Structure 1
Amino acid sequence: MSESTVTRAAGARLLSIGEFSRYVGISVRMLRHYDERGLLTPASVDAFTSYRRYTPDQLRVAGRIRTLRDAGCGISLIAELLPLFATPHVLRARLAQHAASLETAAAELHAQQRLTLSLADALDTSSAVVGERVFPAVRTLRLRRTVACYPAEGELWADLRDLIARPDGADPARFGELVGATYFDEEFRDDDVEMAIWRDYSGPFSPRDGFDIAELPAQRVAWTTHRGDFDTIGRATEILGTWIAEHGFARAGALFNVYVVGPGRESDPAKWVTEVNVPIA
């Protein structure tokens, strides 16, 4: 028996769907929809007119449905949660899970809002300029790993900060100004991204905890400069891809970024400067 099936109290008058709608703050159209979905079945349905009537007790059930709906719960989740009102401790835990999902959704919406505004700002800016150069060979301290997604790159930088902070870690005085990341997958990936973060380093170091010394070779690259946060850095790779194809080149190695001004040096994303490089042949 669903929670919407209730026993009519002695002498209680059934409410018309219009009255019920007014009292509970749910439109007649939605009440019919909830009936069709088995969420709130009327106490009585006239066999000839299909006119729906409800008991006063069902107002409480309908109120719970309205509140859950306004809290961002869909039909299936409401159907799952309604019986849990009989066990408040179970319902409380399940509502906490829903609240966490809403927090994630809010962060995604905020990111979409930032991207929308940045797209609008880009309408007034000229296209990035693509150049060709030989990127010099460099000795780096590197951490290479497969991570969940591209934004998870921050986890690698946090590990590097931890290494530098350790008494037996890398010598901070032996780092240069070159800071970058390399992306090894042939294609763009939504998950399981293989990447490496690195800094030029002149000191001794014994490989450990995933860190090692990597000699990056001199490479002929097409490159462009991206300014701002990383939400729109895809524009830079689009421009590079167009330039490379139009000039008859082919990609000859893993794409890599050089963080001229990045999160580690500047807290304002609007001031970040990233050089995007594609090895070419």
Structure 2
Amino acid sequence: MMFRIGEFSKLTQVTVRMLRHYDQTGLLKPAQIDPMTGYRMYSVEQIPVLNKIIYLRDSGFQVSEIKEALHAENPTSLTELLDKKYTAILNTIEIEKIRLKKIELAKHELLDSQNELHYQVSIKSIPSCRVLSIRKIIPDYYAEGDLWKNLSEFACSHHIAITDDAAFSIYHDAEYKEQNVDVELCVPVQSFSENKGGFIFRDTEPVPFMAFTMVYGPFSNIAGAYQSFAGWLQKNEQFQMSGQNRQIVHRGPWNEHNPENFLVEIQIPLKPPLSAFHLSNAPFSLDPHIV
């Protein structure tokens, strides 16, 4: 027995509009079309297919994905598609959680500006440093933690003698990037050994004029530190940014449980001013005011 589209709509609890949409997109064509009246006619055998379409639609599948699922050769293929969508939804949830945190941050920054953080920008000289390093393109800044783990495991497994000096990151991109970040991680070492598997022993370049500031609290405060750098550079026009930024996490997730106690040092290399003057290793500030 065949059913007209209105009858099929009542029996399946799916609107005529959606049945027509599924017809137009090729998800569920009528079993036949009456040659005399042009009526769309559906069969009972199409109900399981329609139910599968609805389940997939309600699970967030797009039309192209539903078509792929309907043509899955076996249950295993369908399971893989469902697992893939499940993972994608989990990733979306994590992204939305980050957005919620950014909304909370925006409320603080935009509506509570009286509590704005201020940063003291100073200058120091950074000598060359003997390091074990690894440089990679990572998906984003959050992936830096995994790269640090790889570097630590390599140093431990090869019994590399590390000094007490602070490890640091060098960011080689000429601009801020949200994805595909070019980062080099550096751990000061006592002596060189054999380069292996992307892990390189080298001397870093000395930086005679390195502007720096200390960032206390959650990593979200780092953005404010860079804004302070902008204000400082505007007041001290004899300096210009030059080279790759560096970052030292003195206290972070691995040695401090409370984000309010995190301590990060942001470093920005500068071109020497026209009237260059001698710099000692002790830091100093050209502008006595906190910016």
Further displaced range: 241-250 or 59-68: 241-250
* 1:234-249 aligned within 5 A: 234-245=223-234, 247-248=236-237, 249=239
1:29 equivalent to 2:13? Answer: no
Matched to 2:134, the amino acid is R
In 2: Cα distance, 1:234 partner to 1:87 partner: 50
Offset from partner CA, 1:179-221 (integer Å, 9 cap, x none)? 32111222234554332222444x3332433232434524423
Residues 84-134 of structure 1: per-residue CA shift (max 9 Å, x gap): 2x5223222333333333333333333333333333333434043251221
Q: Which residue of 2 aligns with 1:3?
A: none
State the Cα distance separating 1:62 from its structure 2 match: 1.3
Quote the residue 1:102 is aligned against: 89
Which consecutive unaligned segments of at least 5 residues does structure 2 have?
A: 272-291
Distance 1:241 1:213 in 2: 31
Deviations 1:21-61, CA, capped at 9 Å, x for gaps: 45545444333322221212234567898765533322221
Higher relative contact order (CA 8 A, sep 6+): 2
Alignment of 1:1-281 (within 5 A): 12-17=1-6, 19-43=7-31, 52-84=40-72, 87-123=74-110, 124=112, 125-137=115-127, 139-149=129-139, 150-166=141-157, 168-171=158-161, 174-176=163-165, 178-201=166-189, 203-209=190-196, 210-230=199-219, 233-245=222-234, 247-248=236-237, 249-281=239-271
One-letter code aligned to 2:118: A
Q: TM-score, normalised by structure 1?
A: 0.77
**TM-score, normalised to structure 2's length?**
0.75
Question: Structure 1 144/219 Cα, relative in aligned 2: closer, same or farther at 3 Å?
Answer: farther
Instruction: Indicate if the aligned counterparts of 2:215 and 2:264 stay in contact, CA closer than 8 A.
Output: yes
Q: Give how far 1:232 is off.
A: 6.6
How far the C-alpha of 1:255 sits from its partner, in A, is: 0.7
% same residue: 25
Q: Per the alignment, in what secondary structure is the counterpart of residue 145 of structure 1?
A: strand
Could you say what the CA RMSD is over the residues aligned between the two structures, in angstroms? 3.2
| Conservation of the 8 A alpha-carbon contact between 2:119 and 2:225 | no
Q: CA deviation at 1:73?
A: 0.5
- What number of residue pairs does the alignment pair up? 264
Deviation at 1:237, TM superposition (A): 3.0
In the alignment, which residue of structure 2 is the partner of 1:6? none
**Corresponding letter in the other structure for 1:114:** K
Relative to structure 1, is the Cα distance of residues 54 and 239 closer, same or farther in structure 2, using a 3 angstrom cutoff? farther
| Alpha-carbon separation, structure 1, partners of 2:64 and 2:100 | 28
Q: CA deviation at 1:82?
A: 0.9
Query: In structure 2, do the counterparts of structure 1 residues 87 and 156 end up closer, same or farther at CA, with 3 Å as the change threshold?
Result: closer
